[in-house]
Amino acid sequence: MSRGTQAIIHLDAVQHNFSVAHSLAPNSKRMAVVKADGYGHGAQQISKALHNSDGFAVATLAEAEALHIAGINQNKLLLEGVANPDQLQKANDLNLWLVVHKLEQIDWLTACSLPNQHWNVWLKVDTGMHRLGLPPNSVPAALTALSELETVASVTLMTHFARADEIGNAHTQRQIQLFNSLTDKACETSLCNSPGIFFWPEAHGSWIRPGIMLYGASPSADKTAKELGLKPAMTLNSPIIDIHQIKAGESVGYGGRWTAKSDSVIATLAIGYGDGYPRHAPNNTPVWINGKIAKLVGTVSMDMLCVDISNLEEVQCGDIAELWGANLPVDEVAKHCGTIGYELLTRVMPRVEKVYL
């Protein structure tokens, strides 16, 4: 029997958010990013819902294989490429598209003698993120080397933004200029993650790579998801399993991190950090109950957390509280917790039952 703690996944919201990406960049192909199990939403179900996507991007071979086994036949891009030459066999079996972000990976392709290779390569250039990618001055030679490989069917030039969420930021302008100076007209391009899609239309290129926006969270602290026309894809729910009164001066939870100033009513929910709700959520983090916002009190436990419902009327055991979702933006909860919606969504544990609508 389920304890009632559920992540409701609104697939229609995911489809809506995908159409937002498409209408912002109507001339670009779409590489939907479903790494980290679809940002915690279930990569297979998300990919099936986005059957009109031109491809799916994942971070690991195992993620790609899971999509393959689930019968997802669209193009699959391995965002960090292969980690060693031995992985090329599996990548070839799965017909994966490969990011190449260092020259060594070109050497591996050159030396690879598997039958039936036709690699679609996304050559990643570091234009200022300084995490992965070839230095700009080695791009022309890398493009030449790849074009001379018979096993390489196509090359797309890609880069990744460090600060696309900061609207108008000069760093992103410089990244775009540098990228454009390297682009040869023959090859397709891809620059934009979600914030790029919203805020840097001049950089849409041949392929967009929407991630967080598909899941209805905001890619920027400057705009809410609602302002951007996005709909939340996950509603995280948990039932109230106990309601009790405490007296002024009494504390709640491990470490007594919250003490009641007046007599209070406390509701206990069946969710904790063992489900992915952040333990570092501070007192007063919002929780939605029956149309009102109540406040988290005390340290989050592994399986439970407590909420002050003194100001709410008619709350009963069994009522369903929403930790984030349709009524309470994940970004708002994230702000209280000093993190971003991306992290909260991605952390939701397998123990939380997923229900697809």
96 binds ligand PLP, rule: CB under 6 A: no
Tell me which residue of 184, 187, 116 sits closest to 150, measured CA to CA.
116
Please state, in angstroms and rounded to a whole number, the distance separating the CA atoms of residues 233 and 335: 18
The count of C-alpha atoms lying within 13 angstroms of the C-alpha of 178, restricted to the half-sphere facing its C-beta, is: 20
Buried b (16+ CB within 10 A) or exposed e, 117-137: bebbbbbbbbbbbeebbbebe
- Min CB(139)–ligand PLP separation in Å: 17
Length of the chain: 357
Tell me which stretch binds ligand PLP (CB under 6 A): 135-143, 210-218, 221-229, 247-255: 210-218
Cα torsion 195, 198, 203, 204: sign: positive
Tell me which stretch binds ligand PLP (CB under 6 A): 205-213, 244-252, 260-268, 308-316: 205-213
78 binds ligand PLP, rule: CB under 6 A: no
Q: Output 41 or 209, the one with its CB closest to ligand PLP.
A: 209
155 binds ligand PLP, rule: CB under 6 A: no
- What is the contact mask toward ligand PLP in residues 18 to 47, using x (rule: CB under 6 A)? ---------------x-x------------
Tokens representing 141?
């030679």
Q: Output 92 or 193, the one with its CB closest to ligand PLP.
A: 193
- Min CB(33)–ligand PLP separation in Å: 4
Please state, in angstroms and rounded to a whole number, the distance separating the CA atoms of residues 213 and 46: 13
Q: Output 210 or 232, the one with its CB closest to ligand PLP.
A: 210
Q: Contact at 8 Å (CB) between 166 and 196?
A: no
CB atoms within 10 A of CB 290: 16
Tell me which stretch binds ligand PLP (CB under 6 A): 175-183, 209-217, 279-287, 317-325: 209-217
- Min CB(57)–ligand PLP separation in Å: 7
Active site residue 254: yes
232 binds ligand PLP, rule: CB under 6 A: no
**What single string gives the DSSP state of each residue in 33-69?**
E-HHHHHTT-HHHHHHHTTT-SEEEESSHHHHHHHHH
| Choice from 40, 205, 211, 286 touching ligand PLP (CB under 6 A) | 211
Active site residue 29: no
Q: Output 63 or 308, the one with its CB closest to ligand PLP.
A: 63
| Choice from 22, 30, 160, 204 touching ligand PLP (CB under 6 A) | 160
- Min CB(38)–ligand PLP separation in Å: 11
- What is the contact mask toward ligand PLP in residues 174 to 193, using x (rule: CB under 6 A)? -------------------x
Q: Output 57 or 294, the one with its CB closest to ligand PLP.
A: 57
Task: State which residue has the least CB distance to ligand PLP.
Answer: 211
What one-character DSSP code corresponds to residue 31? E
Q: At what angle do helices 139-147 and 103-111 cross, to 10 degrees?
A: 10
Buried b (16+ CB within 10 A) or exposed e, 80-116: bbbeeeebbeebbeeebbbbbbbeebbebbeebeeee
CB atoms within 10 A of CB 144: 10
Q: Output 45 or 190, the one with its CB closest to ligand PLP.
A: 190
Q: Which residues are known to be catalytic?
A: 35, 254
Chain residues in the site for ligand PLP (CB under 6 A): 33, 35, 79, 160, 193-194, 209-213, 219
